[in-house]
Chains A and B, each alone.
Chain A
């Protein structure tokens, strides 16, 4: 077993996903099974093998000219917001506990 339920709770906190107790139990089983299937990766001797982070060789830091370009209007940017107020995205208190 690679992960305990305690580990899974910690991962969920990091991933910002609230899991209930039943979900934690199921997720622990699923993740352990999946991690077991990743074993072939650990079986390799990878000394002196460079990593490949994307498939196009020699491509790095593609830059464009630093120029203002048309973008979304203020209204379009806010149009999909679950909640807005005075032209801004509205969120609950960041530090918690208080009244919104």
Chain B
């Protein structure tokens, strides 16, 4: 069995049958990373000592016949805006280049408690500002399907690590599409659940009323199982909600009798590639074939979501990024004559151009007089957008839209910031309203041959509806989830912790 092709269910079965050990899974994961990451650059830091220690704990528990968590032995990696004690958490920014986390984010802690093997930290757009992972201060990530193209962003490393078969599942964060768009570009499943499903404690904040953490995986079942491990109320994040939902429970229920919404204005939107529309129509036809009823719904105010987002997001980012003061942590430019100059020089040199742009925009939009023209009205428009979704979900159980107007673009192809912002045109309104959205691969595209995703949106806190529809739709496609690069041969990893013991002998992986 090939490591890269393994799902969580495969790993659980393989461990139970002693076909392989968790230790061997960790070895296989680092071998895959050593073989492929020099080309992909999904990882900013590797943590083999933590992964092997976790693997040993899993193997010991299994040998003793103890029950293990949902993610026992699952090789996993985290976006680099997630604190994990003792690791660097850089947000792909020079500002945090030397920052070492003194604590662990709740989503990471829960994954580790569930038995995941932490492989390392993943590349991203700096502070999650971007849609291509090109703004990382530590080098771009390459799309495993075509190394001349971007993996999407901001969670580009999280998507690429799964598509290249280096990690079984990963976590990302999504403020305007940062899980769903890279998932679509890299041909994997990415799920941003409803705002409040997963705690954001310990995840470096970008837009506090928009940010949500979610999983990437090769299959809908992997994503659902990962969400089961990380969801739930956390007293340290007051927006996180109690959840009695078992996300992986209803995946086999099918869509017979469900009403699936399609938004005609989205299907006719300007600037969307025909291959994207064609793939979305194909998904709708498949759902109809499976017994769902397709219903047209209107989201009349969604057209203003982009503008509302580029008011609300930068204002919240401006506020959140004010903590980077070069005093308690973060980059410090030397030689300043006084504290004011130190702030200005450290922030000017610690933040990259897109971060500076968003901070400047937020600073302007929150200033007196401008607040009344843009910020407050944007929050009123948010009410209208949210009401659109509430009304639509009175008529349907889920809505299908494209994820991105096009497939993965080439490096440098979109240089103008406002054009780059358009790549999130179908994902942004969901963050504004707070609903969940999942990106499911339905490609390859007719024209480009690159991965295409469709977005499945559900009512707030009905994330199990989304997974149910995604699972049914997934069964209609027999497309590769691993990029060709992710199926190639790998050597033996040199990554080893000192003085390892192997609790039991496993077979060949």
Contacts and interface: CB of A to CB of B under 8 A. Distances in A.
A20 B389 CA distance: 45
Contact of A52 (B103, B340, B383): B383
A3 B187 CA distance: 41
A81 B421 CA distance: 35
B360 A17 contact: yes
A91 B98 CA distance: 18
A14 B363 CA distance: 7
Interface in A45-59: 46, 49-56, 59
Contacts of B102: 72, 76-77, 79-80
A95 B379 contact: no
Contacts of A51: 376, 379-380, 382-383
B357 A31 contact: yes
A4 to B, nearest CB: 12
B interface residue count range (under 10 / 10 to 19 / 20 to 34 / 35 or more): 35 or more
A83 to B, nearest CB: 7
A92 interface: yes
Contact of A46 (B318, B339, B357, B377): B377
A77 B374 CA distance: 38
Contacts of A68: none
B381 A17 contact: no
Contact of A55 (B306, B339, B433): B433
Majority secondary structure, A binding face: loop
Interface stretch (B233-241, B398-406, B448-456): B233-241
A13 B386 CA distance: 36
B338 A92 contact: yes
B374 A11 contact: no
A38 B357 contact: no
Contacts of A17: 344, 347-348, 351, 356, 359-360
Contacts of A79: 100, 102
Contacts of B100: 79-80
Interface in A1-36: 3, 7-8, 11-19, 23, 27, 30-31, 33-35
A27 B358 CA distance: 11
B477 interface: no
A96 interface: yes
B83 to A, nearest CB: 12
Given A42-B374, A51-B383, A97-B338, 10 more contacts: A17-B351, A18-B341, A31-B364, A33-B418, A34-B417, A40-B304, A54-B434, A55-B433, A91-B327, A92-B339
6 contacts: A27-B360, A31-B364, A41-B308, A52-B386, A72-B103, A97-B337
Interface of A: 3, 7-8, 11-19, 23, 27, 30-31, 33-35, 37-42, 44, 46, 49-56, 59, 62, 64, 72, 76-77, 79-83, 89, 91-97
